[in-house]
Structure 1
């Protein structure tokens, strides 16, 4: 058995949990586990970022200044109920996700499976953030759907991306001005439902909020989100 990230040999801990576990076989060595910085402690009640790294003047009632700015705009106020992220986007995770997304290392998706909450998506309709046709062709797979492949978590593909320009290259103001990043299919699957969006990285929250806004306007009851990195 080898670590799916660094390919070092891994000896699993053989115990009753291991013997009766139905979890997929995906292994991480101790060094790689240590390099994945799990977000702990107090976090923003909306976006899930660690508040330990922020000055107190940038936090109000448990909400960071970025999320306060979103809620100052009537168009976006309350659109995204909350976001939870697993890890800080450090250099190690940045390189790991780059290998995963841009170099086609599909099996790296399994590295994150054991970190997902046991009740992930319970009583919710899980919706992955889609890639544009162009990006999907370049990469060969959607990174979020790759994670679902290993977890066997059911999900609904009801969003189609119609804007292919990379959001990471835009300023915050440019992201706020973008309209119609997505279109909705299978509308009946989300009406009056609690939705859980999933993406790989939460940066400014613009992509997730764009999807949430469309779903909310189409009749979804509530929309929260989950990402690997923040």
Structure 2
């Protein structure tokens, strides 16, 4: 047996189920989970966003400023407040299938493939919260995917859904924005805090900005988002 095999830890890919060897490191020795959880072949199908070649506000690839963010900046509320969203990956066909299995087919363990990556995107000292589901959505899935993605950061519940607005994925940009208005209620804890909102997908920004606006209106010092994907 080779030395490198002795210094490796066997893992199972959370996507394809194949075994692979995760090289031992000080992080693993100290009990910290590695960034793996996908084998090398599956991990290579993800498309990390190059932040030097993406919208500086929302991380949309290949834009210095995308049309969505230009439209948001015309809103008087956002013209004088800072909001950025850091998305980790492009919403390519592989990640779309991963998220579908995670959200709609109940494979909650897939959050382990990304929770450490989400955690590394958050500035230390921030208060982390997640986009909540309504009661119906939570009952259907049995978990909140955004909360699982933020799990390593021990997210604080600062928001709750005030109504069922239906699936945003079926709506146009204008419909998303209209449906997002007044869909959240605030819980105590935002005043004077730097807050990071975690969610799975940023599309037009309607949902996460609706949440951010409510946090700002209730005394948050600054608000930003971190999402797994930018559609």
Q: TM-score normalized by structure 1?
A: 0.87
Number of residue-to-residue matches in the alignment: 217
CA contact (8 A) 2:121 2:226 kept: no
User: 1:128-155: per-residue Cα shift (whole Å, max 9, x none)?
Assistant: 0000100000000001222333x2x122
Superposition pairs of residues 120-159 of structure 1, within 5 angstroms: 120-149=122-151, 151=152, 153-159=153-159
Instruction: Identify the structure with bigger relative contact order (alpha carbons < 8 Å, sequence gap 6+).
Output: 1
CA contact (8 A) 2:146 2:198 kept: yes
In structure 2, the partner of 1:47 is 58
In structure 2, the partner of 1:86 is 88
Distance 1:158 1:216, change over 3 A: same
Counterpart pick for 1:22 among 32, 38, 51:
32
* Residue range with higher mean Cα deviation, 14-23 or 159-168: 14-23
Partner Cα separation in structure 2 for residue 47 and residue 15 of structure 1? 33
* Residue range with higher mean Cα deviation, 104-113 or 135-144: 104-113
In structure 2, the partner of 1:99 is 101
User: 1:148-167: per-residue Cα shift (whole Å, max 9, x none)?
Assistant: 33x2x122101011232112
Partner Cα separation in structure 2 for residue 4 and residue 118 of structure 1? 20
Shift of 1:19: 2.3
In the alignment, is residue 195 of structure 1 matched against residue 200 of structure 2?
Answer: no
Superposition pairs of residues 106-121 of structure 1, within 5 angstroms: 106-116=108-118, 118=120, 120-121=122-123
CA contact (8 A) 2:161 2:183 kept: yes
In the alignment, is residue 11 of structure 1 matched against residue 21 of structure 2?
Answer: yes
Shift of 1:113: 2.9
Specify every segment of 5 or more residues in structure 1 that has no aligned partner in the other structure, as ranges. Answer: 55-61
